[in-house]
Amino acid sequence: MTIVKYRPQNRLMSPFNELVNEFFGRDMGQFLGVDDLPASLPSVNIVERDKDYKLDLLAPGFGKQDLKVHVENNVLTISAEKKVEDLKENERFTRREFSHSSFSRGFRLPEGVEHDRIKAEYNEGVLSLMIPKVEEVKPASKQINIQ
């Protein structure tokens, strides 16, 4: 079975977008002055391995300093915020598409992970987290001598 995201706003906006495209000769994003309206949250891949979980979050355009990761009440939250620099006195834009962007995603952690050993690294637009599992305590086996 395949899980598909349901986005009713896309279905509702589609006829309106087509009308704007036809009437103004350009798409809705251009008409409003932005070419790419934020449509979704960053994509995530989560893989369960023998000793840990690996979470990769796609966050291009954000710097390491823009990202925040924390765990509270067994929920891992990843957030980021990037602000656009203020206009300089002598700058006049003929087109300005850079904008403030932010996101926040939360993930309920499964039982049996070690919150205080989570490690994160950011490389080329991908935030990778290694979430270690608690090591299973194997029952000790002891040989008993018969007398």
CB count within 10 Å of CB 37 equals 9
Which of residues 131 and 37 earns the better pLDDT score? 131
Interior angle at CA 15, CA 14 and CA 19, nearest 5 = 115
Residue 132: what residue type?
A: P
In-domain check, residue 12? yes
Whether 2 and 54 share a structural domain: no
Q: What is the model's pTM?
A: 0.63
Q: What's the total number of domains in the chain?
A: 2
Measured in residues, the chain has a length of 147
Summarize pLDDT for 41-87 with one digit per residue, the tens.
899 999 999 999 999 999 998 999 999 999 999 999 999 998 877 77
The sign one gets for the Cα dihedral 49, 2, 12, 95 is positive
Same domain, 1 and 49: no
Give the whole-angstrom CA distance, residue 94 versus residue 141. 76
Range of the domain at 69: 41-85+98-135
